[in-house]
Amino acid sequence: MNNFTYIAADTPKQAANIISQNPDAAFIAGGTNLIDLMKENIAKPNQLIDLNKIPGLDEITELPDAGLRLGALARNADTAYHPLVQERYPLLADAILAGASAQLRNMATNGGNLLQRTRCYYFYDIATPCNKREPGSGCAAYDGYNRMNAILGSSEHCVAVFPSDMCVALAALNATVNVSGATGERQIPFNEFHRLPGDTPQLDNNLQHGEIITSIDLPPGGLNKNYSYLKLRDRTSYAFALVSIATAFELKDGLIVDARIALGGVAHKPWRVTEAEEFLKNKQPAKESFTQAATLILKGAVGLKHNAFKIELAKRAIVRNCLTALNPDK
């Protein structure tokens, strides 16, 4: 870890101004990922701009349209256990609580969760090539040990997966990311926030240098009746997903009127396939339809040497999770 200077910002605008003058600065909030990256000599900021002291960003507030605004500095644990989140967006609460450990969730912020970096073994080991860490150096995971890597949307340049659980639910819930920068504010639909690797895997998302996530908006109607989050991994807790799935339905008169299926642990971003969700609409909830939806979602999936099983695992998990979502209390 290198030496760095530290400054605490009072407002998002001030933070944006400071960082826009220093390409080697980094924001810090919970620090649960950044500090690790610094210890591993992956992130080497020469300045840390502390966002923790910006007032108001840690709040969770109701929106006029009955949606919910999650402050970027609200901790993952406080978010998951917030009464309004539990009542209206239980899918999100379950997803958050499936991630990390109690200690990490107490520290990690909502904004930081969106910005966490991949856990690809090669990204984390600076002795190996990695296009995400060092553009142009190559992807060692592609032909290396890749059990944890992507089966969808990857490229020859990068097979990393985005590790968040929370974001899988946010994707399913059609959240919006509110962003503030030196030049003003903007909103990014959740499904456009993270990127696929293509030939620029160093870019995890579409946030510009200098922009700050101030909050995440959840639209009204939290799909809180028929939902389920399923996470499959190599141990029961404190392990990243091999495959995770956020599923939610709105049912009316025995038919599916809205379907959301988002996958984690399979791609460079939470994975949603509109075609599959549309396919389920106006159908009776049934295993056969879910199986067909699973096939549509996994269309184009490619297995690598150690992770090909994830394709079949994901299909089975989609079907199971759809069935569970029909009876979430069971």
Partner 1 sequence: MQQKYIGKAISRVDGPAKVTGTAKYAAEYNVPDLHYGYVVNSTIANGEIEKINLTKAAMVDGVVKIYTHENRPSTAWLSLNYADMDAPPGKPFVPMHNNKVVYNGQPIAMVVAKSFEVARYAASLITVEYKADKSDTDLVANLQNARDPKKGLASFLKPPPPKPKGNAAKAYEAAPLKAGGSFYHGVEHHNPMEPFATTVVYEDKDKLKIYDKTQGSVNTQMYVANVFGLKFKDVRVLSPFVGGAFGSGLRPQYQLFLSVMAALDMQCNVRLTLNRHQMFTFGHRPATLQNTFYGADADGKLQSIQHESVAETSTYEDYTEIVVNWANMIYPSPNVNLQYKLAPLNMASPMDMRAPGGATGMHPVEITIDELAHQAGMDPVEFRLLNYTDEDETTGKPYSSKELKECFKQAAEKFGWAKRNPQPRSMRRGHKLVGWGMATGIWEAMQVPTRAEAILTADGKLTVRSATADFGTGTYTVMAQIAADAMGMSLDNVTFELGDSDMPFAPISGGSFTAASCGTAVQAACLGLKKKLLKKAQSTNAEYKSVNLDDIAFVDGQLQPTNSAVKPIAYTDLAAASKNKQIASKNMGWPQMMKQRKYTRAAHSAIFAEVEVDEDFGVVKVTRLVSAIAAGKILNPKTARSQILGGMVWGISKALREESVMDHRIGRFMNTNLGEYHTPVNADIHQLDVIFVEEDDQIVNDLGIKGIGEIGLVGVPPAIANAIFHATGKRVRNLPIKLNDLM
- Among the listed residues 324, 317, 326, the one whose alpha carbon sits nearest the alpha carbon of residue 294: 317
Instruction: Report the nearest approach of partner 1 to the CB of residue 302 (Å).
Output: 17
Does 2 sit near partner 1 (CB under 8 A)?
yes
> How far, in Å, CA of 278 to CA of 270, rounded?
18
Does 128 sit near partner 1 (CB under 8 A)?
yes
- The residue range among 56-64, 139-147, 178-186, 215-223 that interacts with partner 1, by the rule CB under 8 A, is 139-147
> How far, in Å, CA of 226 to CA of 209, rounded?
39
Instruction: Report the nearest approach of partner 1 to the CB of residue 308 (Å).
Output: 9
Q: Which is nearer to partner 1, 9 or 294 (CB)?
A: 294
Does 31 sit near partner 1 (CB under 8 A)?
no
> How far, in Å, CA of 90 to CA of 310, rounded?
26
Does 296 sit near partner 1 (CB under 8 A)?
no
- The residue range among 118-126, 187-195, 247-255, 267-275 that interacts with partner 1, by the rule CB under 8 A, is 118-126
Does 249 sit near partner 1 (CB under 8 A)?
no
Could you count the other beta carbons within 10 Å of the beta carbon of residue 128? 18
**CB of 230 within 8 A of CB of 320?**
yes
Q: Which of 107, 196, 239, 255 binds partner 1 (CB under 8 A)?
A: 239
Which positions from 52 to 91 touch partner 1 by CB under 8 A, shown as an x/- string? ----------------------------------------
Structure tokens at 131: 């296009």
Q: Which of 26, 43, 125, 250 binds partner 1 (CB under 8 A)?
A: 125
Amino acid identity, residue 325? A
Using CA atoms of 169, 172, 175, 179 in order, give the dihedral in degrees to the nearest 10: 70
Q: Which is nearer to partner 1, 41 or 61 (CB)?
A: 41
Q: What strand order describes the sheet that includes 5-8?
A: 5-8, 47-50, 25-28
Span between the terminal Cα atoms of the chain, in Å: 48
Which positions from 186 to 225 touch partner 1 by CB under 8 A, shown as an x/- string? ----------------------------------------
Judged by DSSP in three states, 58 sits in coil
Does 320 sit near partner 1 (CB under 8 A)?
yes
Give bridge partners of residue 250 from the DSSP assignment.
258
Does 234 sit near partner 1 (CB under 8 A)?
yes
Instruction: Report the nearest approach of partner 1 to the CB of residue 146 (Å).
Output: 10
Give bridge partners of residue 6 from the DSSP assignment.
48
Total residues at the site for partner 1 (CB under 8 A)? 30
Q: 254: left (phi > 0), else alpha (psi -120 to 50), else beta?
A: left
Q: Which letter does DSSP use for residue 152 in this model?
A: S
Does 127 sit near partner 1 (CB under 8 A)?
yes
Tell me how far CA of residue 70 lies from CA of 49, 79, 199, 219, in angstroms: 21, 7, 33, 11
Which positions from 142 to 161 touch partner 1 by CB under 8 A, shown as an x/- string? -xxx-x--------------
Which residues of the shown chain bind partner 1 in the complex (CB under 8 A)? 1-3, 41, 119, 121-122, 124-125, 127-128, 140, 143-145, 147, 232, 234-239, 242, 309, 312-313, 316-317, 320
